[in-house]
């Protein structure tokens, strides 16, 4: 007999896990939407943020001060990346820009190793991970906290894009860079702001993932979890990153529990990529992505 309560528990756990994937995917979307760059260095930025924060805390810096200092570091890192990597490569082919961010990811990881060492750190954000029950369904307190943070961040971005001058400039550049130039927008300034925002997203995602998995160099591989999310949601949609993350999280958990036993288990690690590959064949632009139309 099918256990609906257990199914709901698996589904809720998957949805809450998917929120963590969405946090990483949002960083990709911000960069890709305004500059067309697939920023493969997002995972290294996430690692650098988590490692900087936990290293400061372990050296006796108060929690709030360490968070503020790490925020400043990530803002400066985002601006430095835009000026030293993106700006000199403007108008280069997308593959060139992608390879530049791929190389940049190793540079950031190497800098983190030189600054903070290679040891594994535990990160405690003060959030108890023991589950509680709602209508008989077990829900992780940490996952619920992460979902609340992600929801707040999306709401802030929505308000920022709609009501602030810089946010409107983001949208204008994302719609048409040449038109944005024609009305007097300074693209380097907008791109610097975008990379700054990406650094802030990396900080939030890095702290949450670091608290979940521990702060270690394999943390940068979390970036791979965002790729199926982007394929489903679309590379240029913040809403798509959220919806895609929820779908991927749910698919992983349900596939592992209900399909995994037929394959000996362990399919959670690759089930999302199978779904993403199939989705690419049907809708390459994703659920919320813009379809590119080229005139010939």
Which parts of the chain sit beneath pLDDT 50?
A: 294-296
Token match 């050296």: residue? 59
What are the backbone angles phi and psi of residue 180, rounded to the nearest 5°?
Answer: -65, -40
Residue 161, CA distances (Å) to 84, 167, 173 in order? 26, 4, 12
Q: In this structure, what DSSP letter does residue 281 have?
A: H
Which H helix or E strand runs over 29? helix 4-35
Contact 167, 160 (CB under 8 A): yes
Which among 161, 190, 183 has a CA at the least distance from the CA of 82?
190
Q: What is the pLDDT of residues 170-200, one digit of tens each?
A: 767 766 666 666 666 777 777 788 888 888 8
Q: Alpha-carbon torsion 56, 82, 164, 223, what sign? A: negative
User: Considering the entire predicted model, what is its pTM?
Assistant: 0.85
What percent of the chain has pLDDT above 90? 13
Distance CA 203, CA 143 (A): 17
pLDDT number for residue 53? 93
Alpha carbon distance 30, 49 (integer Å): 18
* pLDDT computed for residue 178 by the predictor: 66
Angle at 108 between CA 107 and CA 112, to 5 degrees: 120
| Measured CA distances, 146 to 19, 81, 134, 240, 242 (Å) | 7, 28, 18, 18, 13
**What is the distance between the alpha carbons of residues 63 and 125, in angstroms, rounded to a whole number?**
9
């Amino acid at each position: 007999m099918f256990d609906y309560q257990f199914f709901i528990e698996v589904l809720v756990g998957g949805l809450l896990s998917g929120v963590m994937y969405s946090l990483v995917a949002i960083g990709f979307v911000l960069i890709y939407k305004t500059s067309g760059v697939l920023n493969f260095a997002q995972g290294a930025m996430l690692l650098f943020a988590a490692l900087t924060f936990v290293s400061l805390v372990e050296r006796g810096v108060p929690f709030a001060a360490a968070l503020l200092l790490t925020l400043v570091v990530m803002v400066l890192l985002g601006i430095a990346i835009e000026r030293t990597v993106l700006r000199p490569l403007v108008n280069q082919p997308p593959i060139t820009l992608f390879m530049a961010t791929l190389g940049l990811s190793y540079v950031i990881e190497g800098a983190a190793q030189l600054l903070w060492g290679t040891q594994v750190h535990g990160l405690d954000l003060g959030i108890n991970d023991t589950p509680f029950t709602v209508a008989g369904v077990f829900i992780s307190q940490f996952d619920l906290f992460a979902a609340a943070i992600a929801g707040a961040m999306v709401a802030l971005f929505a308000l920022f894009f709609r009501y602030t001058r810089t946010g409107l400039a983001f949208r204008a550049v994302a719609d048409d860079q040449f038109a944005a130039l024609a009305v007097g927008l300074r693209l380097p300034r907008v791109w610097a702001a975008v990379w700054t925002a990406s650094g802030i997203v990396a900080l939030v995602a890095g702290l949450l993932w670091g608290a979940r998995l521990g702060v270690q160099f394999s943390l940068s591989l979390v970036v791979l979890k965002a790729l199926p999310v982007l394929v489903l949601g679309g590379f240029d949609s913040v809403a798509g990153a959220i919806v895609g993350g929820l779908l991927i999280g749910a698919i992983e958990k349900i596939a592992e529990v209900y399909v995994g036993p037929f394959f000996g288990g362990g399919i959670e690690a690759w089930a999302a990529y199978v779904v993403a590959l199939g989705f690419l064949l049907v809708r390459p632009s994703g659920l919320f992505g813009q379809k590119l139309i080229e005139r010939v």
